[in-house]
Every structure is written in structure tokens, then in C-alpha cells.
Amino acid sequence: MAATAEDLRKGDAGAPMVRVRNLVKEFVAPEGGLFRAVDDVSFDIAPGEFVALTGQSGCGKTTLLRILLGLVPASSGLLEASGRTVKGCDHKRAMVFQQAELLPWRSALANVELGLETKGVPRDERRRIARQCLELVGLAGAELRRPDQLSGGMRQRVGLARALAVDPDLLLMDEPFGALDAHTREGLQDELIRLHEEMKKTVVFVTHDLDEAVLLADRVLVMSPAGRMAEMIDIPIPRRRSDPERIRTTPQFAELRYHIWQTMKRLESETRRPVGAGA
């Protein structure tokens, strides 16, 4: 029987891949004072689990992802990944950005090699790994093309290959398919399902697309407009999701999507101020 999110958590309950407790991130607001982008967030992620983060724009999703990467420090709280406190970036965590952020003067192959170069991997070895990763994401034969010779979907595949090349424990993805057309987006969603099932990477995936969240994730973390964790919703669709088109048409898929949508609408209505309310 295919594994569910609950199976993953029970199977290694004593050793989460990610452990977050009472995480807070504050910024100085333009008008003065402090603004909390992330407010008292706590959760665990099991090894091999796929968690989607969703919520309204400005609710702290990307900030939380950057804290998990180590790019932005938390103001307070506990954050552990791979059993260690996160203090800055390292190769155990890799990010795929909304835009591929490729170096325009480097070929696809050389862009994928970039993280391996910073790890000090010898040239022949990093070339071998980079070629394997490009083949893995369906870009065999495109190794020598520069970014301006690639479509948007192909550039995102290069970005994914670059992240996978360093063999991270935790793969962080910030709306990587958000700027793509619907056909390309669905193709990359299907490809990501295949890669996740083959490689068993732990993934945290930010998205505004509720269909995408339900299709890809084992659990969906819904954040409130105030930067809090409003609800963690289990997606009890078994892994080995080898027929995404069929899954998208099932009553279970529609019910889960509607539940997340209702949760977000409730949060929006709870935070909307009445007309004429004071400061």
C-alpha cells in the first residue's frame, strides 16, 4: 500500500527533518515600530514529506521559506533541520526560486554546476553530476544552451537541477511554477511528483494555487494574514500519484481544495476591519 503523510510521520516520529517551535520574524515597519511577518509558528516535517505553504499575499510564506533556508535569521524561536540548529545557509538545504535566477553568461550545464563549485567538487565529477541532473529533469541535449536560448519551463528545470545537484536534505521551492502558462505548469507538476517519488527528498513548496497544493503535498500549511499558522491540513491521497489527471477529477480532490479555500476565506473575513473602524 502506498504511503500517506500520517505513515511518514509515524515511521520516524523521533527524528523530524524540520523542527520549528514558536518561530517569530520581525521587521522594522516603514512608519516605525516593528512588524511581525511570521508570528509564533510551530510544526514538524518528517523525512521525505512534501509540505505546501499557502495563504494570502503578504502572510509570510516566502519569509518563512527564507528562514528555513538560513538566508534570513529568525527574531526568536527554534529552527532545526537535519537534526541541527539552522545558522545561515549550507548545502543541506537548497532553494528553487520563482524565477530561475540563472547566470545569463553560463550554459545550462555550467549553471547546474554552480553549487558544486562552491562545495569544491572537482571539475570532472561536477560535470558528471550536472549532466545526470539535467537528464533527470528532462533536459538531456540542452546542456550547452544559455538561459536566453531556453523557454521559461526549461529555465525552471535548470533551476531545479541546480538545486538537486548538491543533494540537499531539504528542498525549498518558492512558487517555482507561478509565472508559467497552464500547460507548462501542469507538465512540471507531474515531473515534480515523479522526482519526489524517485528521490524521496523532503520538500517545502510555497504556492498560491490550491489545486497545485492538493495535488503535490502530503500536508498543506495554511497561514493567516497575520503570519500565523492557521491550520495544517492532511492530504490523504496515497503517494505514487502516477495519474495526476485522474486525481484532479476525483471528489476527494475537490473536497480538499474546497476545505482549504473555505479556511482562507474565513481567515480573510476574520482579519477584515469593519468600515469606519478606528485605528
Residue 69 in domain: yes
User: Phi then psi for 151, rounded to 5 degrees?
Assistant: -70, 170
| CA-closest candidate to residue 113, choices 99, 124, 127, 103 | 127
Give residue 112's pLDDT: 96
User: Phi then psi for 107, rounded to 5 degrees?
Assistant: -70, 170
Domain count, the chain: 1
Cβ atoms of 130 and 113 within 8 Å: the answer is: yes
What CATH number should be reported for the domain holding residue 82? 3.40.50.300
Output the CA–CA distances (angstroms, integers) from residue 109 to 115, 142, 187, 196, in the order listed.
12, 8, 22, 22
Cβ atoms of 271 and 226 within 8 Å: the answer is: yes
Residue 182 CA neighbour count, 13 Å, CB half: 1
Give residue 67's pLDDT: 96
pLDDT averaged per 10 residues in sequence order, the chain, 279 residues: 45 74 91 88 96 93 95 95 91 90 94 92 95 94 94 94 95 91 89 91 96 96 94 89 85 95 89 44
Residue 28 in domain: yes
User: Phi then psi for 75, rounded to 5 degrees?
Assistant: -75, -35
Residue 50 in domain: yes
Residue 218 in domain: yes
Residue 106 in domain: no
* Residue in the structure block whose three cell numbers are 520574524: 25
Give residue 3's pLDDT: 42
| CA-closest candidate to residue 173, choices 192, 155, 187 | 192
Q: Is the pTM of this model over 0.85?
A: yes
Sign of torsion over alpha carbons 94, 99, 100, 106:
negative
Residue 210 in domain: yes
Cβ atoms of 126 and 76 within 8 Å: the answer is: no
Q: Which residues contact 185 (CB under 8 A, 6 or more apart)?
A: 177, 212
Give the range of the structural domain holding residue 9, as residue numbers without chain letter: 5-92+168-271
Residue 172 in domain: yes
Residue 99 in domain: no
